A and B are shown apart, each in its own frame.
Chain A
Amino acid sequence: MNTRQQSKLIYSWYGKPMSSDRKLRTTQYKGIIITSESSRTETCIQLGDFILVEGVNADRPYVAQLLDLYEDGAQHKRAVVQWFCHIGEIPQNKRKLLKREISSQEVFFDQVLGYDTDIDAQTIIKSIMVIPLHPGEELPITLNKEQTFYVKQSWDGKCFKALSPDTFSKLKAKKKKGSTPDSSEPFIPSDILTPLKKETESVVQSATKPKNAESKHSVSKSSLAKERQSQRAVNDIKTPTARKKLELSSPTRSKGRLLGSEVLDLLDDDRDAIAPLESAATKRKVTFTSDILGSPPKIPCSNDKSKSVSDTAEPCQRFSDTIRLSPYPKAKDFSEKAKNLHVEDDIISLVGHQKPGTQSPVLTPRSRRTCAQRTSALIAQHISVLNQEDDLSSSDSSYSSSSEEEEEEEDVPCTPEKKTKSSRIFSTPKSSSKSSVHTPAKTPKKTPLPGTPKTPRNATPEIPRRSHAAQKPASVLEEARLRLHVSAVPESLPCREEEFQDIYNFVESKLIDGTGGCMYISGVPGTGKTATVHEVIRCLQQAAENDELPPFQLVEINGMKLTDPHQAYVQILELLTGQKVTATHAAVLLAKLFNTPGPKRKTTVLIVDELDLLWTRKQNVMYNLFDWPTQKHSKLIILAIANTMDLPERIMMNRVASRLGLTRMAFQPYTYKQLQHIISSRLKDVKAFEEDAIQLVSRKVAALSGDARRCLDICRRATEICEFAEPKRSPEIVGMAHVTEAIDEMFSSPYINAIRNASLHEQIFLKAILAEFRRAGVEEATVQQVYHQHMALCRIEGMQRPTVSEMMAICSRLGASRLLLLEASNKYLHMRVRLNLSQDDVMYALREE
């Protein structure tokens, strides 16, 4: 993904327009050439090829078949595709329908109608291989997991079906068509081989590096090895350009079987093809001239090659169809990035060449760095696994080899595969340190070895289970308490029908239109904002499941649950695609995601709770959030929730507030009737409360705040009080007395009680403060002044007067419970004192006794 961003790709048409439509002003083409600017390589994709298309998640591109390529009136390159979907794109609940394990390589022929099949040609990444299988068939053991996909069934959004024979044969034909030119390779006229030769040269030159490395390390090198190497070069000949280009254009390096067919296609169709190829080849030549010097025995090799090509074209091609792994481009890549790694890589690959069975012991001692040692150990393990695979594959191949040489040649297609595997292992630490910022560079992401148990990286922890089952509510009161708990989810949200409908309509209309928009929802705490929004989403999801609405993706963030406003990006991205990246990177990715037309992307509904906490000085988080929905292709609906009605005016800059728009909704505090209704609806048929009691609670809360949470809490507390009330009435029902007690408990000011229960001298001290305030006429006094008053009061009461130390202790005790507000205590007698409650309250509290 990074490489993709770094190297700019140029898309150009391949060949001349096949046909053009005057009316629509479109011109159709039969192929597209993707040229990477940085690497000066190009690849060609033709109609009918299977391709990867950039998706929401950069790690998981979409699979599709290219059906049509055209240029529309506005000179935009467009492509029409037939989608295939990964298992990951199928809703969780539908996956059960399959009743079998789905390998990551299996895709489904996508017959869901909702997706746009007309995409921007620039989103095409590369071509791959899709092989249709009959339902009963096992997935063949594949050597290249990232390039080959299998399709067994189709998916139409509701159920899975076996592929219809028609589709099957069509897909099969596509596959065949891909490989037919290969068989024709031997018949290539010799003169057409000339451009090939040029390329060969260049490729062989590129192979010199590994050779040099080899000669350095392994002194005894058999001529056989040389020959094999030259043969490898032959294999590479076919598509040096495409391959090189590919591995630079995308991190998953090797390009599928397309390459072979592509080159041959090019060869077939001489005029079009040779011209670009030649130019590419010459270019290459220029770049490699310096290398030529070191490698004189190149030409004979290429001669050799042309012969062997014809001999082994069949098997080679077969393998390269599925595997086609090119170590050289990789090696080149390395040489650009890390020289030492490159050398090691080559050694390994070459050693592997010589003796497939015994590479593992040979390669380990070479690597010096601990990191490399670790990886090489892994490679050894891996290769031993692969050896077995090799055996399997070689036994699978049905052709009989007559000569020893040929047998070895047969190995050749396998060995590159091995090499790439090993090179992949080398590359992973690098790529992981580059792309995923979260993994520390020291622990390289290991390639998943079969059968190695490991804790999954994203394991989410769980609170342990309880050892005894939770008790069921036994009495009416307990049942009522359970229902009155704020967390209990009611079946419906009474008293918010209007708001519900408004939000529902808003989101629904946007969903149907496939556009974006935002809505600002405000209201004091406990008025059901979040609950209503969740209810709306639940209903919408229901509707989407019933196919009444297009499907959408829900993302929810809460400002209070973020440690920093910028973490919002990280969370959104993680919820959308599962990637974990840093905040700045996430912002870039999200902006790209929402600003570029993404094919096959569902509408996203984003709930931003506690919006005010996303405020930053520059307000860039808010700005971005509200800017995305205004983009043409964003398909983003934002529901922003906050407490204050005038938040946009108060804390947002004009440009942010303007993007937020004027779609606003205010949740009014509940009135007592609504609160009453809420309680009754929650209780339903459970007869635990007197009607009057409910009304009292509702009226009290409505008068104070209109917070439904408070209302429910009071009711819950009242049931407890009722339970403990001494004289047990036979039908336990919460009455007025209980409710009143609960309300008093929650709302009574603690100060009065605290003062009444204070010790005598503490009370006198408070009186002294009042007296001093009255004397001075200022609501502030020093301890010394209060102390004098205190002593005077003690004299009046005939009490023993306290020492200054004791008085300071009294003072700090009152200060700790915040009846008084104190200065720092190092001022001792000159510390200033203030009351934390009104003088009247103090007087009231002291007089009563």
Chain B
Amino acid sequence: MKSAMSKRKLKDTCGASAECISQVQKILRERFCHRPSATGKLFGIEFQYRHLLELLKRTTLHGESNSALIVGPRGSGKTTLLNHVLKDLREMKQVRGNLLEVHLNGLLQTSDKVALKEITRQLQLENVVGDKVFGSFAETLAFLLEALRKGDRTSSCPVLFVLDEFDLFVHHKNQTLLYNLFDISQSAQTPVTIIGLTCRQDILELLEKRVKSRFSHRQIYLMNSFDFKQYIKIFKEQLSLPAEFPDEPFAQKWNDNIQHLSEDKIVQDVLQNLFHHTKDLRSLYFLLMLAVSAVTVHHPLLTAADLQEASRQHSTDSKANIVHGLSVLEICLIIAMKHLNDVYDGEPFNFQMVYNEFQKFIQRKAHSMYNFEKPVVMKAFEHLLQLELVKPLERPSARAQREYLLMRLLLDNTQIMDALQVYPNCPTDVKQWAASSLSWL
């Protein structure tokens, strides 16, 4: 009874119902997760948007063949841009029913044969021939080329080819598919437009000279070329609730809070840090996603602390995290390896060397450390191997004894020291041993 009372009280004070919060979660998560869909907004690529839209419009309206590449680093919004353009294009009256789309992905269509089959399927050409059996690759190619050759500029329906992960198509044998597509785009056949999406800046150098000559050299670059102010603005827009949110007072409150947050020094620091690391919006959304997850009925509004916590999670070092969970013996081994690395300047070591180093430490500090048997130490060492904190130089062979396999440590000194700082209940001797570089003296 009392608890129910207090709950209601709490609810009143917060001014938010459970449905409200779940609504917020739903809206924001959809926004952050389904990025390539055409629902979101475009930031800083209005020029590229117009260029691409005009290009496709000319294809559909005039039947002009074209080819273009959209180049930009990962997460820079290439697919988003294309989806936006296509969505807007489909909404135009003159375009409807005037454009066939073929979507290919270099990760799925790993060879020209597969790609050709997929094209035939997406163009629904296999229905035309009814009982025709698609035999060989050669037949499919001849069949498709014949189909495309038959059309002409004014009467055939234009075809849009979208090649995602374009750089992978370049590795197909002889670049047959690309040659043929570009060749069609440069000859008086069915109007086609080829749009390639890639993150490689050197894509043109990968094209064979004949293919390159047929490519129109239109490149649309997406560079994430916004500054920090715009970044803050994106942050604000992405977190704001839309006007049509059911619970209007809450939405108002939420948006005010976001506005307030965007001016907060701590938040700005967090964002600045992220911005310095990467400008792609995908990581920003990932950070916001972590922060938004913290929003609950009891904690209805986002705070700077939430963002800070999210940022901390976002930027933690994965290997150092593993070190936190190691036993003292394993930590000792890692420290021994660190010393070996210092002494021998990063040369590889084997288990025996590590064991000797560890023994030296034990002899000096016998009172504080329990002396483990060699097999036990070996076991601990193998555990490190499994965690991939240590990596053998070559594959273990049957001949070589395990103790003498050459290894490398996959941790940097700074990582080890940082991990030790936060390692719970670390013996002081071990800490000192780790800190002193000339430990054996």
Question: Are A466 and B200 closer than 8 Å at their CB atoms?
Answer: no
A462-B150, A643-B210 as given contacts; A830 in contact with B408, CB under 8 Å: yes
Task: Mark A500-544 against chain B: 1 for CB-CB distance below 8 A, else 0.
Answer: 000000000000000000000000111000000000000000000
Out of A724, A750, A805, name the residue touching B318 (CB < 8 Å).
A805
**Complex Cα spacing A818 to B204, Å:** 12
Question: Are B157 and A804 closer than 8 Å at their CB atoms?
Answer: no
**Complex Cα spacing A599 to B223, Å:** 67
Chain B residues within 8 Å of A806, by CB: 277, 315, 317
**Complex Cα spacing A818 to B61, Å:** 37
Say whether B373 faces chain A, with CB atoms less than 8 Å apart. no
Task: Mark A772-807 against chain B: 1 for CB-CB distance below 8 A, else 0.
Answer: 000000000000100100010000000110111110
**Complex Cα spacing A571 to B146, Å:** 12
A462-B151, A485-B64 as given contacts; A560 in contact with B201, CB under 8 Å: no
Chain A residues within 8 Å of B375, by CB: none
Task: Mark B148-163 against chain A: 1 for CB-CB distance below 8 A, else 0.
Answer: 1011011111110000
Say whether B199 faces chain A, with CB atoms less than 8 Å apart. yes
Chain A residues within 8 Å of B412, by CB: 784, 787, 804, 829
**Complex Cα spacing A564 to B317, Å:** 51
Stretch at the interface among B137-145, B238-246, B254-262, B426-434: B137-145
Question: Are A816 and B221 closer than 8 Å at their CB atoms?
Answer: no
Which B245-290 residues sit within 8 Å CB-CB of chain A?
273, 275-280
Say whether B54 faces chain A, with CB atoms less than 8 Å apart. yes
Say whether A836 faces chain B, with CB atoms less than 8 Å apart. yes
Chain B, Cβ-Cβ closest to A717: B218
Question: Are B128 and A713 closer than 8 Å at their CB atoms?
Answer: no
Question: Are A561 and B223 closer than 8 Å at their CB atoms?
Answer: no
Stretch at the interface among A44-52, A135-143, A728-736, A751-759: A751-759
Question: Are B141 and A561 closer than 8 Å at their CB atoms?
Answer: yes
Question: Are B202 and A562 closer than 8 Å at their CB atoms?
Answer: no
Out of A455, A759, A827, name the residue touching B279 (CB < 8 Å).
A759
**Complex Cα spacing A813 to B74, Å:** 7
**Complex Cα spacing A753 to B64, Å:** 30
Stretch at the interface among A312-320, A396-404, A470-478: A470-478
Question: Are B128 and A459 closer than 8 Å at their CB atoms?
Answer: yes
Question: Are A460 and B147 closer than 8 Å at their CB atoms?
Answer: yes
Chain A residues within 8 Å of B424, by CB: none
Distance in Å from the Cβ of A313 to the closest Cβ of chain B?
48
Stretch at the interface among B10-18, B31-39, B79-87, B179-187: B179-187
Question: Are B214 and A473 closer than 8 Å at their CB atoms?
Answer: no
Say whether A588 faces chain B, with CB atoms less than 8 Å apart. no
Stretch at the interface among A151-159, A385-393, A486-494: A486-494
**Complex Cα spacing A370 to B293, Å:** 66
Distance in Å from the Cβ of B119 to the closest Cβ of chain A?
11
Say whether A216 faces chain B, with CB atoms less than 8 Å apart. no
Say whether B133 faces chain A, with CB atoms less than 8 Å apart. yes
Question: Are B132 and A753 closer than 8 Å at their CB atoms?
Answer: no
A-B CB contacts (within 8 Å), total count: 230
A560-B180, A816-B73 as given contacts; A750 in contact with B219, CB under 8 Å: yes
Out of B73, B180, B391, name the residue touching A754 (CB < 8 Å).
B73
**Complex Cα spacing A465 to B64, Å:** 15
Which B201-218 residues sit within 8 Å CB-CB of chain A?
201-202, 209-210, 212-214, 216-218
Say whether A570 faces chain B, with CB atoms less than 8 Å apart. yes
Question: Are A753 and B221 closer than 8 Å at their CB atoms?
Answer: yes
**Complex Cα spacing A488 to B202, Å:** 30
**Complex Cα spacing A462 to B148, Å:** 7
**Complex Cα spacing A340 to B276, Å:** 84
Task: Mark B36-63 against chain A: 1 for CB-CB distance below 8 A, else 0.
Answer: 0000000000000010001000000111
Task: Mark A739-781 against chain B: 1 for CB-CB distance below 8 A, else 0.
Answer: 0000001100011011001111110000000000000000000
Chain A residues within 8 Å of B185, by CB: 487
Question: Are A754 and B54 closer than 8 Å at their CB atoms?
Answer: no
Task: Mark A429-470 against chain B: 1 for CB-CB distance below 8 A, else 0.
Answer: 000000000101000000000000001010111111111111
Distance in Å from the Cβ of B390 to the closest Cβ of chain A?
11
Chain B, Cβ-Cβ closest to A723: B54
Task: Mark A89-108 against chain B: 1 for CB-CB distance below 8 A, else 0.
Answer: 00000000000000000000
Distance in Å from the Cβ of A746 to the closest Cβ of chain B?
4
A561-B180, A709-B213 as given contacts; A817 in contact with B200, CB under 8 Å: yes
Chain A residues within 8 Å of B174, by CB: 560, 613
Chain A, Cβ-Cβ closest to B71: A750
Chain B residues within 8 Å of A758, by CB: 279
Chain A, Cβ-Cβ closest to B283: A809
Say whether A482 faces chain B, with CB atoms less than 8 Å apart. yes
Question: Are B138 and A710 closer than 8 Å at their CB atoms?
Answer: no
Question: Are B216 and A471 closer than 8 Å at their CB atoms?
Answer: no
Question: Are B65 and A803 closer than 8 Å at their CB atoms?
Answer: no
Chain A residues within 8 Å of B188, by CB: 487-489
Question: Are A707 and B213 closer than 8 Å at their CB atoms?
Answer: yes
Question: Are A805 and B316 closer than 8 Å at their CB atoms?
Answer: yes
How many residues on A have C-beta within 8 angstroms of the other chain's C-beta atoms?
Answer: 83
Question: Are B183 and A466 closer than 8 Å at their CB atoms?
Answer: no
Chain B, Cβ-Cβ closest to A814: B73
Out of B150, B179, B209, name the residue touching A460 (CB < 8 Å).
B150
Chain A, Cβ-Cβ closest to B146: A460
Task: Mark B166-195 against chain A: 1 for CB-CB distance below 8 A, else 0.
Answer: 000000001010011001011111100000
Q: Which of B180, B218, B276 has the most CB of A within 10 A?
A: B276
Task: Mark A562-574 against chain B: 1 for CB-CB distance below 8 A, else 0.
Answer: 1110010011000
Chain B residues within 8 Å of A759, by CB: 224, 275-279
Say whether A610 faces chain B, with CB atoms less than 8 Å apart. yes
**Complex Cα spacing A784 to B409, Å:** 11
Chain B residues within 8 Å of A562, by CB: 138, 141
Question: Are B97 and A802 closer than 8 Å at their CB atoms?
Answer: no
A486-B186, A713-B216, A813-B74 as given contacts; A757 in contact with B225, CB under 8 Å: yes
**Complex Cα spacing A485 to B280, Å:** 36
Say whether A810 faces chain B, with CB atoms less than 8 Å apart. yes
**Complex Cα spacing A329 to B154, Å:** 58
Chain B residues within 8 Å of A799, by CB: 276
Out of A470, A710, A809, name the residue touching B213 (CB < 8 Å).
A710
Distance in Å from the Cβ of A279 to the closest Cβ of chain B?
50
Chain A residues within 8 Å of B94, by CB: 468, 471
Say whether B131 faces chain A, with CB atoms less than 8 Å apart. yes
**Complex Cα spacing A581 to B216, Å:** 37
Say whether A353 faces chain B, with CB atoms less than 8 Å apart. no
**Complex Cα spacing A803 to B185, Å:** 48
Question: Are A803 and B317 closer than 8 Å at their CB atoms?
Answer: yes
Say whether A720 faces chain B, with CB atoms less than 8 Å apart. yes
Chain B, Cβ-Cβ closest to A784: B412
Task: Mark B102-124 against chain A: 1 for CB-CB distance below 8 A, else 0.
Answer: 00000000001100000000010
Chain A residues within 8 Å of B279, by CB: 757-759
Say whether B98 faces chain A, with CB atoms less than 8 Å apart. yes
A757-B223, A800-B273 as given contacts; A459 in contact with B202, CB under 8 Å: no
**Complex Cα spacing A468 to B97, Å:** 8
**Complex Cα spacing A526 to B187, Å:** 13
Which A60-74 residues sit within 8 Å CB-CB of chain B?
none
Chain A residues within 8 Å of B73, by CB: 754, 813, 816-817
15 pairs, A vs B, C-beta closer than 8 Å: A438-B135, A460-B146, A463-B190, A464-B156, A470-B63, A473-B62, A482-B62, A610-B210, A717-B216, A745-B219, A750-B221, A760-B277, A804-B412, A806-B317, A810-B278
Which residues of B are at the interface with A, using a C-beta cutoff of 8 A?
Answer: 50, 54, 61-65, 71, 73-74, 94, 96-98, 100, 112-113, 123, 125, 128-133, 135-138, 141-143, 145-148, 150-151, 153-159, 174, 176, 179-180, 183, 185-190, 199-202, 209-210, 212-214, 216-219, 221, 223-225, 273, 275-280, 315-320, 346, 388, 391, 408, 410-412, 414-415
Known pairs A724-B50, A802-B277, A830-B410. 20 more at Cβ < 8 A? A440-B133, A455-B132, A463-B190, A470-B63, A478-B62, A485-B65, A525-B212, A560-B180, A560-B210, A563-B136, A571-B142, A643-B209, A709-B213, A720-B54, A746-B218, A750-B221, A758-B279, A759-B224, A804-B320, A805-B315
